[in-house]
Amino acid sequence: MNELMNRTVAQLTARSLLGRRRTLLLMLLPLALLGLCTLARILAGLDPGIAAELDGPLAPDLLTAFGIAIVMPLLGLIAGTGSIGPEIDEGSIVYLLAKPLNRYTIVLTKLVVAIGVVAAFGVLPVFAAGVVLTGEVGSVTVAYAAGAFVAGVAYAAVFLCLAVITRNAVVVGLIYALIWESLVGGLVPGAQTLSIQQWSLAVAKEVFGDGAYRYGIGAAVEFSTGLVALLVVTIGATAYAGRRLQTLRLHDDS
């Protein structure tokens, strides 16, 4: 019964996330990233100076600034909030909660679907962008794909939890993604240690291995710190979302 309900919840969530309008929205960000990287590669073919930069720090800089810092948090916001937020807003969540299904199972199933969406529309395009920029499936490409994946998992969990906590999750999430993660978390030294972006860059740096700093791949935290922080935030957000869902009243119209 639980397995059947898991499958049902997953199918309903995927159908909701991959509706025509939301799919178009999900495609805009990776297309913009790939377009930018393709333009950089074309310019590199025309300018030896740009080509030299692509072989050095320019490719990591572009993947950091647009892939990790912009595309992943925004995709995580769309997938995380979209996996459960509309059901709560419309009140249709009551039909799901009325079923004999553990609340944590509901949250975990929705999170897995959200992660799948983030991987398809975020991680794969980051990987493709790395290939376009560097011309190979090399260390830069693999490192940033790994960093994008762990970032996407954490963002999806955080924003799914936010959707359970408040009906203004999209607004709050946009403020967090654009101001904290993209600006404060990327520029302010003290705040960088509390940024999913920096934690995921620590993973990318570790996957790249020796010579990361020479290629401009750096992070404000060490790999062990970043990995632990990612696990704590992901597990904590998922557990808290399940707990809040347990206390959600079926006939709460507030």
**pLDDT digits 0-9 by tens, 147-186:** 999 999 999 999 999 999 988 999 999 998 888 887 776 6
What would the two tokens of residue 21 be? 């309008």
CB 185 within 8 A of CB 198: yes
Confidence grade of residue 3 (pLDDT, cut at 50, 70, 90):
low
Confidence grade of residue 87 (pLDDT, cut at 50, 70, 90):
confident
Q: What is the pLDDT of residue 180?
A: 83
Instruction: Give the residue from 207, 105, 114, 214 showing the smallest Cα distance to 158.
Output: 114
CB 40 within 8 A of CB 62: yes
Instruction: Give the residue from 211, 223, 220 showing the smallest Cα distance to 56.
Output: 211
Instruction: Give the residue from 72, 41, 34, 78 showing the smallest Cα distance to 58.
Output: 41
pTM score, whole prediction? 0.90
CB 81 within 8 A of CB 173: yes
- Mean per-residue pLDDT of the chain: 86
Confidence grade of residue 50 (pLDDT, cut at 50, 70, 90):
low
CB 247 within 8 A of CB 92: no
Which region among 21-25, 49-53, 92-96 has the lowest average model confidence (pLDDT)?
49-53
Q: What is the pLDDT of residue 4?
A: 45
Q: What is the C-alpha separation between 80 and 113, in angstroms, rounded?
A: 9
* Helix axes of 72-82 and 2-17: crossing angle, nearest 10 degrees: 120
What would the two tokens of residue 104 be? 């944590």
